[in-house]
C-alpha cells in the first residue's frame, strides 16, 4: 500500500544496516555516543568507591567494549562511525576542558609556582621530545621500520611527550597536597599547549638548513607565540568583564550573562587558532581572568550556573574523549595495513614505553632539584615522593597523543603506508596500555606514597575526589575556596595597612629575599587600584538581589573605600 510508505520506508531503512547514507550515519553515531555517555556517567557513579577504577578508565573500557561489539556485528569490516575526528577534538572537545581548568584553578598556588610549572611544561616537553626522538631513531630501524622520514620521527617525539594527567588529578586532593596538585595540574595544561605548538612546528618546518642561529630563532618564535596567546586570553577575559560590568545585564537576564561568558571564552580559543597561536594557552588564561573579574560581576544565579555549567561541559567532554579513543582503537583498517611481525611490534612497543619513562624522568628529577635549589621556603620544596608522583603523573598518554598521531599518520582516516599504519597502531596501544594499566595503578601508588600523615590537615573533605569537593553543597556556593581565603587574607592585609598607615617597604632587597611575596604584594596593589575599579571583581558587585551574600559583599566594598 502506498500509504504505508511513511512507515515502511522507515522500517526498510532500519533493516538495511549496511546501506546507510551519510546523514543516517550521523544520527546513529550521535545516538550511540549520547547513550554511551549516559551509561558512563551511571557506571562511573556506581564505581566511585572502587579503589581501582576512575571515570576515564571506565569510559575507555566502555568504548573498547562497544567498539568490539560494532566490529563483530559488522563482520570485521568496522564502520565509519568509529573514525576519530581531530577537528571535533581540537575545536569542540578540548576548549571546554582547558577553559574549566583555568576557571577552577587555585590562582594563588598556580602563580606561586608559575616558574616551576612553566619549566616542567615547556622545557620538560623539549627534553622529553629530544630523548624520545633520538631513541626512536635508534630503535625503530632495529624493529623493522626502516627509512622513516625525519618528520615522522620528530612527530613521534612530540606525540609521546604530550601527557594526560587526568587520572592522577582525579586521585590527588587539591586541599591536602596543594603544591603537588598545582604542579601536576599546571604542567598538564602547559604541556598540552607546548605539544600542540611544537607539533605544528615539526609539521611545517623546513629541515634543510638547520643551524644554531635558527635554533635561537625557533626559540624566539615560540616565546612570541606563548606571549601573544596569553595576552589574547587575558584580553578576552578583561573585555568580557568590562562588558558585563558596564552593560549591567543582570538587571534583565541571567541568560545573557552566561552566554557572553561562554561565547567570549570560546572566542578566545578560536581567535587564537585563527592566528596560529596557541588556543589552549589563550583559553586557559581567559578562564583565570574570568574567574577573577567577570565571575564577580554577574548575579548570584549566574555565578552558580556558570561555575557548574563549565564544570559539567568539561566533564562531558572528557568522558566523551575517552569513549571516543576507546571506540576508535578497534578500527580495523589501520590494523590490517600493518606489516610488522608480532616480535617487531612488541619491540617497538617496549622501546617506546621505555623512552617515555626515561624521557620524563630526565627532566622531572633534575628540574625539581633545580626548583628546590632556588626556593628558600620549605613549603615550596618538592620532596622525593612528590617527584615520583610528578613523574608518574606524566606517564599516561591520552587523547592529545591520539589526535596528533592521527594528524600525522593518516589522511581521511586511512594510513598512507604500512610504516605509518604501524606507528598509528603502536600509538593507540601505548595510549590504551598507559591509561588502563598505569591509570589503574595510580590510586594504590599514591595511597602508598602519600599516607595520610604526609598530607596537610587542610580540610574535612578528604574522602571526596577533587572534582566533588568543588561541587559538594556544603561549600558556600557563592565563593570558591580560593576566593574565600583570598577574601580573608586580603581584608586582613588591607585593614592592617589602613590601621597602621605604613606601606610595605618596596626595595630590591625585598625582591631578592622574598621575590614571590613582593610580586604578590605589588600585584595586589595594582589590582585594587586600577584593575578592579575598571573591570569589576570581588567587592565590586552591584546589589542586584537582596540575598544576604550580596549585602555582605557590599559591606566589604564599604570597608575598602
DSSP line for 51-120? SS--HHHHHHHHHHHHHHHHHHHTTT---GGG---HHIIIIIIHHHHHHHHHHHS-HHHHHHTHHHHHII
Cα angle, residue 500 at apex, residues 496 and 503 outer, rounded to 5°:
85
CB of 472 vs a copy of itself, minimal distance in Å: 8
CB of 77 vs a copy of itself, minimal distance in Å: 21
Question: Is residue 178 a contact partner of residue 109, using CB atoms and an 8 Å limit?
Answer: yes
Element (H, E) at 143: none
Question: Is residue 96 a contact partner of residue 102, using CB atoms and an 8 Å limit?
Answer: no
CB of 275 vs a copy of itself, minimal distance in Å: 7
Q: Which is nearer to a copy of itself, 185 or 269 (CB)?
A: 269
Q: Which is nearer to a copy of itself, 124 or 279 (CB)?
A: 279
**SS3 category, 414:** strand
Q: Which is nearer to a copy of itself, 248 or 454 (CB)?
A: 248
Q: Which is nearer to a copy of itself, 143 or 199 (CB)?
A: 199
Name the grid cell of 382. Answer: 618538592
CB of 156 vs a copy of itself, minimal distance in Å: 20
d(CA 403, CA 397): 11
CB of 148 vs a copy of itself, minimal distance in Å: 21
Question: Is residue 84 a contact partner of residue 324, using CB atoms and an 8 Å limit?
Answer: yes
Q: Which is nearer to a copy of itself, 215 or 509 (CB)?
A: 215
Torsion of CA 453, 456, 462, 465, to 10 degrees: -110
Q: Which is nearer to a copy of itself, 410 or 490 (CB)?
A: 410
Name the grid cell of 108. Answer: 594563588
Question: Is residue 180 a contact partner of residue 390, using CB atoms and an 8 Å limit?
Answer: yes
CB of 532 vs a copy of itself, minimal distance in Å: 22
Q: Which is nearer to a copy of itself, 216 or 498 (CB)?
A: 216
Close Cβ partners of 530 (under 8 Å, ≥ 6 residues apart): none
Q: Which is nearer to a copy of itself, 12 or 377 (CB)?
A: 12
Element (H, E) at 415: strand 414-415
CB of 390 vs a copy of itself, minimal distance in Å: 27
CB of 143 vs a copy of itself, minimal distance in Å: 32
Amino acid at each position: 500500500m502506498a500509504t504505508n510508505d511513511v512507515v515502511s520506508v522507515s522500517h526498510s531503512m532500519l533493516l538495511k544496516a549496511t546501506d546507510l547514507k551519510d546523514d543516517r550515519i550521523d544520527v546513529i553515531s550521535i545516538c550511540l555516543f549520547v547513550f554511551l555517555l549516559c551509561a558512563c556517567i551511571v557506571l562511573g557513579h556506581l564505581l566511585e568507591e572502587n579503589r581501582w577504577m576512575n571515570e576515564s578508565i571506565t569510559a575507555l573500557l566502555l568504548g573498547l567494549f562497544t567498539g568490539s561489539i560494532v566490529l563483530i556485528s559488522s563482520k570485521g569490516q568496522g564502520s565509519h562511525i568509529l573514525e576519530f575526528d581531530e577537528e571535533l577534538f581540537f575545536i569542540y572537545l578540548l576548549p571546554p576542558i582547558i577553559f574549566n581548568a583555568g576557571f577552577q584553578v587555585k590562582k594563588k598556588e598556580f602563580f606561586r609556582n608559575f616558574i616551576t610549572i612553566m619549566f616542567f611544561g615547556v622545557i620538560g616537553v623539549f627534553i622529553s621530545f629530544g630523548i624520545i626522538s633520538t631513541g626512536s631513531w635508534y630503535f625503530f630501524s632495529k624493529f623493522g621500520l626502516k627509512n622513516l622520514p625525519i618528520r615522522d620521527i620528530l612527530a613521534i617525539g612530540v606525540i609521546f611527550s604530550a601527557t594526560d594527567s587526568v587520572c592522577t588529578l582525579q586521585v590527588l586532593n587539591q586541599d591536602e597536597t596543594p603544591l603537588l596538585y598545582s604542579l601536576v595540574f599546571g604542567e598538564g595544561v602547559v604541556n598540552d599547549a607546548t605539544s600542540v605548538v611544537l607539533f605544528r612546528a615539526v609539521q611545517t618546518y623546513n629541515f634543510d638548513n638547520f643551524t644554531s642561529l635558527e635554533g635561537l630563532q625557533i626559540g624566539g618564535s615560540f616565546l612570541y607565540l606563548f606571549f601573544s596567546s596569553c595576552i589574547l586570553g587575558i584580553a578576552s577575559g578583561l573585555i568580557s568583564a568590562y562588558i558585563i560590568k558596564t552593560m549591567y545585564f543582570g538587571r534583565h537576564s541571567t541568560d545573557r550573562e552566561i552566554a557572553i561568558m561562554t561565547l567570549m571564552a570560546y572566542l578566545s580559543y578560536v581567535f587564537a587558532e585563527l592566528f596560529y597561536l596557541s588556543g589552549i594557552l589563550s583559553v586557559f588564561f581567559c578562564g583565570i581572568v574570568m574567574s577573577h573579574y567577570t565571575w564577580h560581576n554577574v548575579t548570584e544565579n549566574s555565578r552558580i550556573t556558570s561555575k557548574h555549567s563549565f564544570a559539567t561541559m568539561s566533564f562531558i567532554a572528557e568522558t566523551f574523549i575517552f569513549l571516543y579513543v576507546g571506540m576508535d582503537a578497534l578500527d580495523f583498517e589501520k590494523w590490517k595495513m600493518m606489516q610488522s611481525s608480532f616480535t617487531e611490534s612488541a619491540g617497538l612497543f617496549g622501546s617506546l614505553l621505555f623512552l617515555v619513562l626515561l624521557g620524563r624522568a630526565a627532566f622531572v628529577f633534575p628540574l625539581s632539584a633545580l626548583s628546590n635549589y632556588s626556593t628558600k621556603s620549605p613549603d615550596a620544596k618538592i620532596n622525593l615522593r612528590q617527584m615520583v608522583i610528578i613523574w608518574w603523573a606524566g606517564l599516561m598518554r591520552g587523547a592529545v597523543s591520539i589526535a596528533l598521531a592521527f594528524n600525522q599518520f593518516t589522511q581521511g582516516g586511512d594510513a598512507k603506508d604500512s610504516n605509518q599504519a604501524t606507528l598509528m597502531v603502536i600509538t593507540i596501544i601505548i595510549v590504551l596500555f598507559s591509561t588502563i594499566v598505569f591509570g589503574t595503578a595510580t590510586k594504590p601508588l599514591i595511597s602508598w606514597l602519600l599516607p595520610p600523615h604526609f598530607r596537610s590537615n587542610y580540610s574535612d573533605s578528604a574522602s571526596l575526589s577533587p572534582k566533588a569537593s568543588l561541587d559538594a553543597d556544603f561549600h558556600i556556593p557563592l565563593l570558591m575556596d580560593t576566593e574565600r581565603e583570598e577574601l580573608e587574607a586580603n581584608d586582613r592585609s588591607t585593614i592592617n595597612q589602613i590601621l597602621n598607615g605604613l606601606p610595605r617597604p618596596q626595595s630590591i632587597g625585598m625582591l631578592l629575599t622574598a621575590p614571590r611575596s613582593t610580586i604578590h604584594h605589588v600585584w595586589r596593589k595594582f589590582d585594587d587600584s586600577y584593575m578592579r575599579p575598571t573591570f569589576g571583581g570581588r567587592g565590586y558587585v552591584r546589589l542586584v538581589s537582596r540575598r544576604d551574600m550580596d549585602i555582605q559583599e557590599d559591606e566589604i566594598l564599604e570597608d575598602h573605600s
